[in-house]
Amino acid sequence: MHLALATCVVRSWRATDVDSLARHADNRKIWINLRDAFPHPYTKRDAREFIRATRRRSPETFFAIAVGEEAVGGIGFVLHPDVERVSAEIGYWLAEPFWGRGIVTDALVAVTGHAIETYHLTRLYAVPFAWNSPSCRVLEKAGYLLEARLRNSAIKDGQLTDQLQYAFVAADHRTS
Ligand SMILES: CC(C)(COP(=O)(O)OP(=O)(O)OC[C@H]1O[C@@H](n2cnc3c(N)ncnc32)[C@H](O)[C@@H]1OP(=O)(O)O)[C@@H](O)C(=O)NCCC(=O)NCCS
The string of pLDDT tens digits covering residues 11-50 is 999 999 999 999 999 999 999 999 999 999 999 999 999 9
Nearest alpha carbon to residue 25 among 75, 125, 93: 93
Q: What is the number of the ligand 1 atom nearest to the C-alpha of 33?
A: 44
Pocket test for ligand 1, best of 27, 72, 75, 99 (most atoms within 8 A of CB): 99
Q: What angle do CA 127, 59, 10 make, to 5 degrees?
A: 65
Distance 134 CA to ligand 1 centre (A): 3
Distance 103 CA to ligand 1 centre (A): 9
pTM for the model stands at 0.97
Pocket test for ligand 1, best of 94, 144, 146, 156 (most atoms within 8 A of CB): 94
Query: Taking a C-beta distance cutoff of 8 angstroms, is the pair 118, 80 a contact?
Result: no
- pLDDT bin (cut points 50, 70, 90) of residue 53 is very high
Nearest alpha carbon to residue 103 among 130, 70, 129: 70
- C-alpha 118/C-alpha 135 separation (Å) is 25
User: Amino acid identity of 154?
Assistant: A
CA 40 to chain centre: 17
- 71-125 confidence digits (pLDDT tens): 999 999 999 999 999 999 999 999 999 999 999 999 999 999 999 999 999 999 9
Pocket test for ligand 1, best of 27, 35, 104, 106 (most atoms within 8 A of CB): 104
Q: For residue 167, count other CB atoms closer than 10 A to its CB.
A: 20
Q: What is the number of the ligand 1 atom nearest to the C-alpha of 138?
A: 13
Backbone angles phi, psi at 167, to 5 degrees: -135, 145
